[in-house]
Structure 1
Amino acid sequence: MTIAVADAERAIAFFALLGFRKQHVATIDGGVPARYMGLPGMKAQHITLALEGAVPPFEIQLLRFDPPGGADPGSHPTNLRQRGFNHLGFRVDDIEAVTAQLLANGVIMLSEEMDYISRKLRLFEGPEGITFELVQRDDAVIK
């Protein structure tokens, strides 16, 4: 799950109460991650929090946009810039097979595949315009 937040440190502290620890921090300043999100000029801090001891791994991702998103999410149909819920990720074993199944059933793909921190990722539009993501992990390579 990814949550867009205005105060990343406060969110990190909150999730720490539930056993999550900061695992990875990246700065997005345009480039591949921004294009993947459908926001080519996006600037944000991307923070991965991992639940300690969880098998399989369980993560929450935080996005702190620069400048922070307001109440108006803009024109993007799935509102990826709004605060609060951003998108829901589903772990799959074969991203290509699941993508083919979704497309064959009329599901709208929002992004091409992206490789990011030992994962293959792809965004789709779900019911009511909710964005969801397929995630194929290679746990042997996660850093």
Structure 2
Amino acid sequence: MTESNEMILNPDHVTIAVAKSGPAIEFFALLGFRKEHVATIDGGLPARYMGMPDMKAQHITLVLEGADPHFEIQLLEFDPPTGTDPGAHPTNLRRLGFNHLAFRVDDIEAATAHLVANGVTMLSDEMDYISRKLRLFEGPEGITFELVQRGGSDASG
């Protein structure tokens, strides 16, 4: 194996477990994702693959329109819903495991205005860091996501 990263081509998808898929589908539509495929998992190979042989869930594939390379968010809505632990809320960026999703944009101010106008909660002021403009938001079910505009004014990167 060489020193270059020839094995990984690009990100393919992110899977997010949600209690209710409807609000998540609506939210990700604001970011340019469209629903492409819905499948019901009721045991079988997909459940065994995920290490949950008795799993029942809706698996919803959302595709980012116009993305090259192709990128998806896959939602899992379990039946029955999994329990919730208020101490492990997704917007708690100090917890272990999943931290946040980041989406690259060309105009962070316009994207922010669009999201805020549609009721999305902004979690941080804009920050210039390593030649990027960054801003955090709260997505569906408290999932933290970030907008990234490359070419910020910070000259340190």
Query: Which TM-score applies when normalising by structure 2?
Result: 0.46
Identity %: 79
CA offset digits 1:54-89 (Å, max 9, x no partner)? 0110100000000001126xxxxxxxxxxx95xx9x
The AA in structure 2 aligned to 1:63 is L
Q: CA RMSD in A?
A: 1.9
Task: Report SS of the residue matched to 1:40.
Answer: coil
Question: What is the aligned partner in structure 1 of residue 24 from structure 2?
Answer: 11
Superposed counterparts of 1:70-89, under 5 Å: 70-71=83-84, 85=98
Structure 2: distance between partners of 1:22 and 1:70:
26
Return 5+ residue gaps in structure 2 as ranges: 1-13, 86-96, 102-157
* Further displaced range: 47-56 or 63-72: 63-72
Structure 2: distance between partners of 1:63 and 1:51:
17
Number of residue equivalences: 75
Superposed counterparts of 1:32-111, under 5 Å: 32-71=45-84, 85=98
The AA in structure 2 aligned to 1:39 is M
The structure that has the greater radius of gyration is 2
Return 5+ residue gaps in structure 1 as ranges: 73-83, 89-143
Structure 2: distance between partners of 1:28 and 1:70:
19
CA offset digits 1:76-112 (Å, max 9, x no partner)? xxxxxxxx95xx9xxxxxxxxxxxxxxxxxxxxxxxx
Larger relative contact order, structure 1 or 2 (CA cutoff 8 Å, min sep 6): 1
Structure 1: distance between partners of 2:42 and 2:69:
31
The AA in structure 2 aligned to 1:7 is K
Q: Does 1:27 align with 2:66?
A: no
Query: Which TM-score applies when normalising by structure 1?
Result: 0.50
